[in-house]
Amino acid sequence: MDLQVTEITVLPGRDKNGETEHFDRIVIRPGETLAIVGPTGSGKSAFINDIEVFARDDTVTGRTVLVNGAIPPDDYVRDPAKKPIALITQNTKCLADLKVAAFLEMHVRSRKIEGDEIISETIALANEFTGEKITPGARMTSLSGGQTRSLMVADAILVGSTPVIILDEVENAGIFKDRVIEVLRRYQKAVVFVTHDPLVALMCDRRVVMRNGTVVRVIEHTDSEDEALSAVKKMDGILCRLRERIRAGEAITGGVQAV
Amino acid sequence: MKLVVIAGPPSAGKTAVVRQILRNLGTGEKAAYLKIDVVRAFEDEELATEFSIPTRKVYSGDLCPDHAGIMVMADALRWAEKEEASILIVESAGLCLRCSPYVTQALGIVVLSAVSGTHAPLKMGPMIGLADVAVVTRIDLVSQAEKEVFREGIREVAPEIEIVETNAVQGTGMRYLLRRIAEADEVRDAATVELRGVPPLGVCTVCVGKKEIGWQHHFGVVRRLGDAGNLFRGD
């Protein structure tokens, strides 16, 4: 990992009509969270893909991405061990036909990391994010979406050790999203969430609003949204408990209790 | 003129990579395109319409497509020369993984799909081992750890190969492939172009029309690429 990465800057590109986007620059620093919101087809995935490949006016959006204010060296893009960004995709069907431990072993080997503990630590961290326990002997292809996503996040934190993590719709995977956010903050990661989830969106420091392929607005999180955030947290808590009861096969009779 | 040979298993995204190359070639460049396939191919017509470049196709029929490629390569170079192309792109059918279609004085590109499984690179030794560049497509469908593990598989087969990761439909990461093409040598002498690797030495009795099963009905000499030992069975 390159500890020197202190910020990633996205410079504006062009919308579908060739007009320049309406923002100066969007900067992401370690420990900060950024939510990308907008309807389906509004360009959220293109935005994170631009960051992931360090676009240099060579993608459809025409954006440019800088690291520490400059065009990043080729190594950042081409050498995974030096690349400061890990993108966890929405397609959680992991295609590696290996067992979990063998997959991690191969990744650890490619990173030339010494010691075996990192594999069990990664699996243990992944198990903090998901209710369904991941075992070292399970096949990657047999993991559920939530398990795969949890494993990829844990891997990005411990094995990849990247300062910037991009998560595409983490909420869709049946994963403890508040736990993920908390752990990523603890590890001082810069995190970009593509999200439709009100809780994830409101918990982030900033929201980038997308429409028709372009950034239309950047909203800073302020105290004025705290009231809404705590209300959403409560609702989310209710829904989580309800989800567990439904999964456990209970009949849900009567009203749903807030506490 | 430059010669670029593109190989890779079916559905890996070879034609998508060709499209990106054509779309991003410098203004001074003129491309010609040859598709080698077994029974049907449409890429030549599509690319001719899309990019207004001279294209051809060759059907290998009963012959293996890589063998057909070797037979027609000298003619193809003459044709592209006559068309005043500055770069000839030859796309293989990518069926049999025992040998490889790359020739000398050319840039060899293997196209692999990131979603084809960890062991995929290990299953196509010569096709990767003799290439200059491995282009990994559908990179947008996998997470970072998977990308790195897939890379590791390629490096196991070819430790020195240059790897370009791309979403070939969008063309991300293509600048590195284009740079490599820009730096590639020209064909010095078309008459001396030859295969890079030794092809498998095989005499196949199925190809000559024998239908019986069992060793006793068949004969042949089989030698794998890079393997000095011969396997001889039957009469």
ipTM of the complex: 0.80
Give residue for tokens 């991009």: A166
Domains of chain B: 2-192 (3.40.50.300), 201-234 (no CATH)
Chains A and B: how many Cβ contacts under 8 Å?
92
B180 SS3 class: helix
The domain made up of A1-84+164-221 has a fold known as Rossmann fold (3.40.50)
Amino acid B229: pLDDT? 54
pLDDT at residue B98 in the model: 74
| E-strand stretches of chain A | 8-11, 26-28, 33-37, 64-67, 85-88, 164-168, 190-194, 206-211, 214-220
CA A198 to chain B, closest CA, distance in angstroms equals 24
Stretch A38-60: mean pLDDT: 90
Task: Indicate the helix (H) or strand (E) that contains B222.
Answer: strand B221-223
Nearest by CB: B149 against A58, A88, A110? A110
- Using alpha carbons, select from B73, B86, B75 the residue that is nearest to residue B1: B86
Smallest Cβ distance to A60: which of B142, B149, B170?
B170
- pLDDT at residue A190 tops 50: yes
pLDDT band at A114 (very low <50, low <70, confident <90, very high): confident
A183 interfaces chain B, CB cutoff of 8 Å? no
| Binding-site residues on chain B for chain A (CB distance < 8 A) | 114-119, 140-152, 155, 163, 167, 170-176
Instruction: Enumerate the residues of chain A whose CB falls inside 8 A of the CB of residue B140.
Output: 49, 89
Cα separation, A113 vs A173, in Å, equals 29
Beta-bridge partner residues of B7: B110
pLDDT of amino acid B202: 65
Best interface-test mutation with A: which of B113, B136, B149 has the largest number of A CBs within 10 A? Answer: B149
Average pLDDT score over chain B: 87
Provide the token pair at A137.
């002997």
Convert the pLDDT of each residue in B36-92 to its tens digit. Answer: 998 888 999 999 999 999 999 999 888 888 888 888 999 999 999 999 999 999 999
Query: Could you tell me which residues come within 8 angstroms of residue A249 by beta carbon, excluding any fewer than 6 positions away?
Result: none
- Look at A93-102, B127-136, B156-165 and tell me which has the smallest mean pLDDT: A93-102
Is residue B195 within 8 A of residue B181, CB to CB? The reply is: no
Tell me if B77 sits within 8 A of B3, measured CB to CB.
Answer: yes
Q: Which of B149, B167, B176 sits opposite A103 (nearest CB)?
A: B149
User: In terms of DSSP bridges, do strands B31-37 and B231-232 run parallel, antiparallel, or are they unpaired?
Assistant: unpaired
Spatial distance between the Cα atoms of B175 and B165, rounded to a whole number of angstroms: 10
pLDDT at B217 over 80: no
